[in-house]
Structures are given as C-alpha cells and as structure tokens.
Amino acid sequence: MVLLDGSLVRTRRRTGTANRKNHSGKHKCHSLLVIALTDDRGRLLWISAARPGRTSEISACRHDKLTARLRAAGLGAIADLGFVGLDDSGPDADPAMITATRPPATGP
C-alpha cells in the first residue's frame, strides 16, 4: 500500500503569454504541480514530472497512467477526495485506488 498526493510548488510569474498555463485558479498563484507516491513511513517512492499549475491532480495521474502502473506492480494507493473517479476498474477487479466517498448534495 502506498500513499498518493499532489503538491503545488509556487513559482514566480513569467512574462507574456507563457505565464497563463502556470497559474492555478484555485490557489490564485503561479505554480507547478507534482504528484508523489510515498510508503507508509513517508519515504518517497515516485514523483511525477512537474506540470503546469492549472493541471488538476486527477488529470496528471491519468496522463501518467498511474492506475495501470500500480496494478502492474501489485500495489494499491490511498488518496484524498481529489482522486475520486481515477480508478476505472470493474467491480470484480482489485482496487488500485482507495478514496473516501463524498457526501450527497442533499444532506449528510
């Protein structure tokens, strides 16, 4: 079992149109996104390439085909709510991702 999370690394604003792709609208800053896998003791096992700050965590994982790599290695990942829907396995397959569930919009 591994832990999966993404982190934004703040950067300085670039000039011209090159600055737009590094701007995170959610965090209101210019940044780069990295996805990291760690073991249960917090030791780094894998880190993705830096992506523009506007990229979402789930999109970066889909681009890296992370669930297929985890299944090939026989590992499962525990992730936060930002990764809900990433694991596209069937109901009979072992899950590659374990996330919490979101509460319904109508109440608790």
Residue 9: phi and psi, rounded to 5, are -110, 115
pTM to 2 decimal places? 0.75
- Name beta bridge partners: 103: none
Q: What is the pLDDT of residues 2-22, one digit of tens each?
A: 999 888 877 777 666 666 667
- Cα–Cα dist 56/66, whole Å: 14
Element (H, E) at 73: helix 66-73
Give me the residue spans of the domains in the chain: 2-98
Q: What is the pLDDT of residues 39-49, one digit of tens each?
A: 989 899 999 99
CB 60 within 8 A of CB 50: no
